[in-house]
């Protein structure tokens, strides 16, 4: 993904802090990688300081959505047990406080950490 795109999402997370922020990721699925091209605000998102959630059945059926990204005001880059039960799409990304370009992690549906390549 492009650093500019990542920086925008991190800025959004900073603005929401200390609440959690959540965004949907749009992208292209390649043979052995996923390229994030864009992000969307989820419809009917409700966030509070403990968790960010949304009613899954209200999400649009949009096959360009490859996953979600949300922030952890605690600074943790690990998926919580709740996160693992709510993976929507192929990947789940986490942005941890203080939301620098390195404070990001990506996981697949099996909660295995993926390598993240950020380009300029
Ligand atoms: Zn989480």
Mark whether 20 is an active-site residue.
Answer: yes
Q: What is the pLDDT of residues 69-118, one digit of tens each?
A: 999 999 999 999 989 887 788 999 999 999 999 999 999 989 999 999 99
| Catalytic residue (choose from 2, 8, 15, 20) | 20
| pLDDT higher than 80, residue 65 | yes
Determine the pLDDT at residue 57.
Answer: 57
Give all strands of the β-sheet with 113-114 in edge-to-edge order.
Answer: 34-40, 22-29, 65-72, 91-96, 104-108, 113-114
Residues 6+ apart with CB under 8 A from 57: none
Determine the pLDDT at residue 95.
Answer: 97
Q: What is the pLDDT of residues 11-62, one digit of tens each?
A: 999 999 999 999 999 999 888 899 999 998 876 555 554 455 555 555 556 6
Residues 6+ apart with CB under 8 A from 96: 71, 72, 74, 75, 76, 77, 103, 104, 105
Between residues 1 and 70, which one has the greater pLDDT?
Answer: 70
Q: How far is the CA of 71 from the centre of ligand 1 (A)?
A: 7
Determine the pLDDT at residue 86.
Answer: 77
């Amino acid at each position: 993904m492009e650093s500019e795109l990542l920086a925008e999402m991190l800025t959004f997370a900073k603005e929401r802090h200390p609440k959690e922020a959540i965004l949907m990721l749009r992208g292209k699925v390649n043979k052995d990688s996923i390229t994030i091209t864009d992000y969307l605000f989820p419809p009917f998102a409700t966030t509070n300081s403990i968790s960010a959630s949304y009613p899954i059945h209200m999400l649009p059926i949009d096959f360009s959505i490859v996953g979600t990204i949300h922030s952890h005001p605690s600074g943790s880059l690990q998926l919580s047990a709740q996160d693992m039960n709510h993976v929507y799409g192929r990947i789940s990304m986490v942005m941890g406080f203080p939301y620098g370009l390195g404070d990001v992690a990506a996981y697949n549906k099996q909660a295995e950490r993926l390598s993240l390549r950020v380009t300029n």
